[in-house]
Amino acid sequence: MVRLLTRDYDIIVVGGGVAGINAATEARSVRPSCSVALIADESKIYSRPALTHAIAGHAESVDDVAIYTRSTLESLGVNTYFSSKIASLDANNRAVELKRADQEESLRYRSIVLATGSRPALPRVRGLELENVFSIKWAGDALRVSAIASPGMRACVVGAGFIGLEMAQALFRRGLKVTLVEMRPWVLPELLEPELSAKVKEHLERFDVKVLTDSSLESIHGRKRAQQVSVNGKRLKAELVAFATGVRPNVELAKIGKVKLGRTGAIATDRSLRTSKESVYAAGDCAETLDMVTGKVVYRPLGTVAARSGVLAGSNAAGKRVEYSGFLRRQYDRIFGTEIVSMGLSLRQARSLKVNAEAVPVEPPRHSDPKLQILRPSQALFRAVIEKKNQRLVGWQAVGRPIRTSWYSQFMQASIASGKTLDSLEELGLTVAG
């Protein structure tokens, strides 16, 4: 191992995901004179949504999904250390030990942003080591799935969150026969109320995706590669198994640096995204944040939260000193042409945060003028989640055709953020059903 001389930076950002990129570029924007280093364990910077793009067969290499090159980042004033790992963090002396290839280097900093992301949360089942069993978290996994997938194969996707639905869609479009397995009673269980979830399930089945809810994958069987799975005691043919069963915060570096973890297991942060250690900030999937609606601490490993927390952490690391009151959860996707929107709190989330809430069916206006019917989504379902004691809007869900459905959802985001009540829906022409 060759040891190089120590280098000094004003700011070091650890992590090449959206939180890390935003932290590094925002720091340079806030304070152009500062020196910034970005350390990433992969060789390319890419967006996580690009992974299902790769599975669908639209990419042949990581270069096809890369969004930032080394030259682009360095043109923005960010020094890059790709394919590198941090071996140690000494938060008291503001130093890290960096390893890459056969070199070892000591880097010192004034401020550091931990944006180390998350790791797949896999169930403990027999057969995980078999070939053709994947957890889609990194580009290499997605490209290997794409290389293996071929028409007529049977695939089992485990987990019916947005990532699971996207994988099912991508594999279906490659000509595979897909079974989606979800252990809870309905698809998108954390995000949608049962009636909207049932509509999504019906839509998936219309495209011949077999959906098994209230079901558990118990084991994977095969000699060298996956051939079958056991679900609820029954054997199903599956030559490709993909897990989308959530993530856990990657906090190993935080533990090494003796940075405090919160009750969720992610890094504890304050309203500036500072951690328990001086000049150490955290953002993205490795960190806790505040929920805008309740002001309570939550762990939300979402791209939208990572993007916004990265900007905030980078700004504060550069010395701007900005606080936030919470991030509003926003999740949306388009599956087989149907738009699915969930923001704020679902009923399940509200109850977990001790908010006494209910989900209210909402209907768009009926226009006699045919030209205005574009504002009435055909076969769409809407739900407003409200706090019972004051009728305050705390969440919104919509399932229906694109454009028309999202038109209302854009307004609802502002309504939730500003604390409007249920009767404010009349301003949009929406009415409470029943």
Same domain, 31 and 109: yes
Q: Judge whether 46 lies within some domain.
A: no
Q: Judge whether 66 lies within some domain.
A: no
Cβ burial, residue 47 (10 Å; 0-12/13-18/19+): middle
Q: Judge whether 395 lies within some domain.
A: yes
Same domain, 178 and 273: no
Same domain, 346 and 399: yes
The per-residue pLDDT for 138 is 84
Average pLDDT rounded to a whole number, residues 268-292: 98
With 70 as the cut, is the pLDDT of residue 2 above it? no
Same domain, 311 and 267: yes
Please give the share of the chain, as a percent, with pLDDT higher than 70. Answer: 95
Q: What is the residue type of 424?
A: S
Q: Judge whether 174 lies within some domain.
A: yes
User: Structural domain tally of the chain?
Assistant: 3
Residue whose C-alpha is closest to residue 27's, from 92, 111, 105, 104: 111
Q: Judge whether 70 lies within some domain.
A: no
Same domain, 241 and 131: yes
Same domain, 264 and 301: yes
Same domain, 257 and 294: yes
Q: Judge whether 281 lies within some domain.
A: yes
Half-sphere exposure in the Cβ direction for 90 (13 Å, CA): 10
Whole-angstrom Cα distance, residue 191 to residue 415?
19
Q: Judge whether 78 lies within some domain.
A: no
Same domain, 132 and 199: yes
pLDDT 10s digits, 116-151: 999 999 999 999 999 999 998 888 889 999 999 999
The per-residue pLDDT for 29 is 96
pLDDT 10s digits, 293-313: 999 999 999 999 999 999 999
pTM for the structure as a whole = 0.93
The per-residue pLDDT for 3 is 61
Same domain, 212 and 149: yes
Q: Which of 230, 246, 262 is the last residue of a domain?
A: 246
Same domain, 102 and 205: no
Same domain, 210 and 281: no
Same domain, 8 and 152: no
Q: Judge whether 73 lies within some domain.
A: no
Buried b / exposed e over 312-322, threshold 16 CB at 10 Å, is bbbbbbbeeee
Domain that includes residue 281, residue range: 2-41+83-118+250-317
More confident residue, 139 or 398: 398
